[in-house]
Chains A and B, each alone.
Chain A
Amino acid sequence: MSEKKQQVSRRQFLNYTLTGVGGFMAASMLAPMVRFAIDPVLTASTAGEMQAVVDVSEITTDPQRFDWTVEQVDAWYTSDVTHSAWVYKNENDEIVPLSPTCTHLGCSVSWAGNEDYPDQFYCPCHDGRYQKDGTNVADTPPPAPLALYEYEVRDGTLYLGQPVPRGGV
């Protein structure tokens, strides 16, 4: 009689509760581990965000160097990393934000860095040179033009994203 009334037997009840509690415990242990394992994936998107660099009114037709600092998270270690860009306005009034990283071996180039070439970017390491638009000068070591940053202008401020490499000549 009484067995008929019991729709859930003691054994079933225990099975359900233990599976439920056990599953909850397993989930609470696994969730942080999964998060931990894919953490770099989750944070990677923030590194690609556009960074405010400079007020557009400061940009002239001569390339100027602007620096900005981003907090970079390398899994366990957070550090401030400084980035730079050489920015100017070309004759069509378009903003040209060039990466300073020499495409030869990664030194920083500077505008008019060599007195002999006042209208070029110059790399002090191995005498690499680039035209004002970033094109590498033939017969100097760099194999490709300087990279151009992704950029956008919001409320009069220049925002820069990632440098985009350009193909070699």
Chain B
Amino acid sequence: MMKWEADDLPKYFEAKEYIDTVLVPLIPIQLSNEADSLKLANYQKTLQIIAREAERDFAGRMLLSPVYTYVQAASYQKEQERINQWIQLLFKEDFKHVFFLTFDVKWKKEEKGLDGTLLWLPGTVIENYQSVLTKKWINEQTSQLNELIKSFW
């Protein structure tokens, strides 16, 4: 498992030559309005689950980056510059494939400026994570996401 965790990082440094892919979740936050905040918090949880599932399948080739968190009302132009700076400083040298994973549709418009491939999934608010339907949905999302990532290799 290659996550940003003290248990995993030694494995990353040991197997560095095999790890050429990084997945960066992009997660917006805001606190000005209750309904939207709840929605974003729910999206965050779901996106993390999907990211971890993808990581579970590709642990030997993909590093799951810490989440890039930004304020929803902020300038996407500025965030994009900062994200690209992350990529340059952290991942540019060792990673051939950089993927961004998000439910935030606004990135779709900024896609070209991002230093990597945007994987945008339409979000759904999930009420019961234990339900069979939710599990099925998450499985579907994960397996399609994985197909997509594989197609870049």
| A and B pair up | yes
Residue of A nearest to B129 (CB): A80
Contact: B61 with A126, CB < 8 Å? Answer: yes
Interface residues on A, range: 10 to 19
Residue of B nearest to A79 (CB): B52
Contact: A125 with B58, CB < 8 Å? Answer: yes
Report how many A-B pairs have Cβ atoms within 8 Å: 38
Contact for B60 among A67, A82, A125, CB less than 8 A: A125
Q: Which of A7-15, A43-51, A103-111 contacts B (4 or more CB under 8 A)?
A: A103-111
Whether a CB of chain B sits under 8 angstroms from the CB of A102 is: yes
Whether a CB of chain A sits under 8 angstroms from the CB of B86 is: no
Contact: A124 with B53, CB < 8 Å? Answer: no
Give the residues in chain A near B11, CB-CB below 8 Å: 105-106
Distance in angstroms from B127 CB to nearest chain A CB is 16
Residue of B nearest to A106 (CB): B59
Between B11, B57, B62, the greatest number of chain A beta carbons within 10 A of the residue's beta carbon is seen for B57
Contact: B150 with A107, CB < 8 Å? Answer: no
A108 to B57, CA, bound (A): 4
Distance in angstroms from A53 CB to nearest chain B CB is 14
Contact: B59 with A107, CB < 8 Å? Answer: yes
Residues of B at the A interface (CB closer than 8 Å) are 1, 11, 15, 18, 53, 56-62, 139, 146, 150, 153
Given contacts A102-B60, A105-B60, A124-B58, 9 further A-B contacts (CB under 8 A): A82-B56, A104-B60, A105-B11, A106-B59, A107-B57, A107-B58, A107-B61, A108-B56, A125-B61
